[in-house]
Amino acid sequence: MHPKSHHIPGKKVGKPLMNNSKVANITAARVFFRDIQEWGWTPRRFDPIRAIPISRKMLAQRKPAPRLIADDIWAKLLWAGLNLRADDLPVCTYRAGQTRLPKEVPWYPLTMVRAVTVIWLFAGLRSDEIRRLRVGCVRRQRQDGTEPMTSESLATKTVCLLDVPVNKTGAAFTKPVDGYVGEAITAWERERPTQPAVLDRKTGSVENFLFLDRGKQIGTDYLNQTIIPMLCRKAGIAAVDARGNITSHRARSTIASQLFNAKEPMTLFELQAWLGHRSLSSTQYYAQITPTKLTQSYKDAGYFERNMRTISVLIDQEVIRTGGAASGEAWKYFDLGHGYCTYDFFDQCPHRMACAKCSFYVPKESSRAQLLEAKSNLQRMMQEIPLREEERAAVEDGIEALHRLTGKLTDVPAPDGQTPRALVQITRLKFGS
């Protein structure tokens, strides 16, 4: 049987199916047998769900895989679409006597082709939605969205609203698009000759389609067979990339992923409304997070900084040169903000972020700390200290968390062997309070 009878491209005949295609075909077979049994066409003899199972391996490998167009290729296509000229249009190849048009001229006007191209490049619509756009589908508003504008001021605005007709999965909806889309549509509406209304086979109503010329709509394959090859020729790129042919639907995935990975990105729910999806799971098959965006999000999360805190360390080189460090004199000082700790193994001290005021602690208001800061031969370095959950809370949340942390360490001995409870008792006996 001819490959086209199966709706499978000839180059794919004989090749193994992708995992998502396998799951889709098995699901379709299960639904078919379930429906014919429920409708009474055949007796109920088996359960299609159990008789035609989908393996766990296939379900595990099923994942969204949008065929995005690479950024450099997409940028060239955008340039080609925005700089389209009359000599870029393919001329019509027809037999003499079939039309009154002279030979070697484009079949459609440049303004109409430019409008179709700009919508494909910026609006993220399906090819059928582009074909079925109505006259007057551009809604003009002020930037605050309160008052309509005239068509003359549309080109100066950055965003306009586009009414999208009923699609294959949902009702008609309105989406914001770039003002250049509205400008291109308005330019074509000014030049568009009067055309008869045409039956919309999807809704059964008679409509004034936007892209109608000589009483006929643009073809269903006009984007794939004419517009995209024309843009590829003008941009100097191949019509096939690493992910396959550049098709009209791949632009929809590319635009959705770029909006999802922007500096101030759209959320999945906003992207769902913009694409016109009924289910959020459908949107996930279009939006793919890029490694660059994932890397930036990981950096912004601050996972390493959250678990590691950098402590400023002062090194007293004079004590080292004079040999005082060998006799036990302090030469390394960890800056805690409120004072210094002279304990060499500060990172192992349980009181490091809630100092127990032991003998290793030097408060900053003391004369010893002032002399330490006044020395000109101090070397300052940074040391990263891993923090526990309680210590991170003390650093991030403030005084209340610090009090909770010190309460837990009341009976934990400091490096000099004394506990905070014992230090408090000594202080009360010393000052009689």
For each of the chain's 433 residues, which pLDDT tens digit applies?
A: 444 445 666 667 777 887 778 888 888 999 999 999 999 898 988 898 888 888 888 877 776 667 888 888 999 999 999 998 888 888 766 555 555 555 567 788 899 999 999 999 999 898 889 999 999 888 876 555 444 444 444 444 578 899 999 887 778 889 999 888 999 999 999 999 888 888 888 888 888 899 988 888 888 888 999 999 999 999 999 988 888 888 888 888 899 888 888 888 888 888 888 888 888 877 877 777 777 777 777 777 776 666 666 777 888 888 888 888 787 788 888 887 778 888 877 777 877 777 767 878 777 777 667 667 666 667 677 767 777 777 777 666 666 666 676 777 777 777 777 777 776 666 565 555 5
φ and ψ of 65, to 5 deg? -140, 70
Number of neighbouring beta carbons within 10 Å of residue 94: 11
List CB contacts of 7: < 8 A, sequence separation 6 or more: none
Domain boundaries, the chain: 11-61, 71-297, 303-431
Closest by CA to 256, choosing from 242, 246, 270, 240, is 270
pLDDT at 146: 45
Q: Could you tell me which residues are beta bridge partners of residue 162?
A: 138, 175
Spatial contact of 126 and 167, defined as CB atoms under 8 Å apart: yes
Q: What span, in angstroms and rounded, lies between the C-alpha atoms of 414 and 353? A: 12
**Identity of the residue numbered 257:** S
* Predicted pLDDT at 275: 87
Structure tokens at 279: 């289910």
pLDDT of amino acid 195: 86
> Who's near 174: CB < 8 A, 6+ residues apart?
139, 161, 162, 163, 164
pTM score, two decimals?
0.63
Task: List 315's β-bridge partners, or say none.
Answer: 332, 379
Q: Which of 373, 361, 370, 351 is nearest to 330 (CA)?
A: 361
Q: Which of 196, 210, 201 is nearest to 115 (CA)?
A: 210
Q: What is the CATH number of domain 71-297?
A: 1.10.443.10
Radius of gyration of the chain (CA): 36
Confirm if 246 and 254 have CB atoms less than 8 A apart.
no
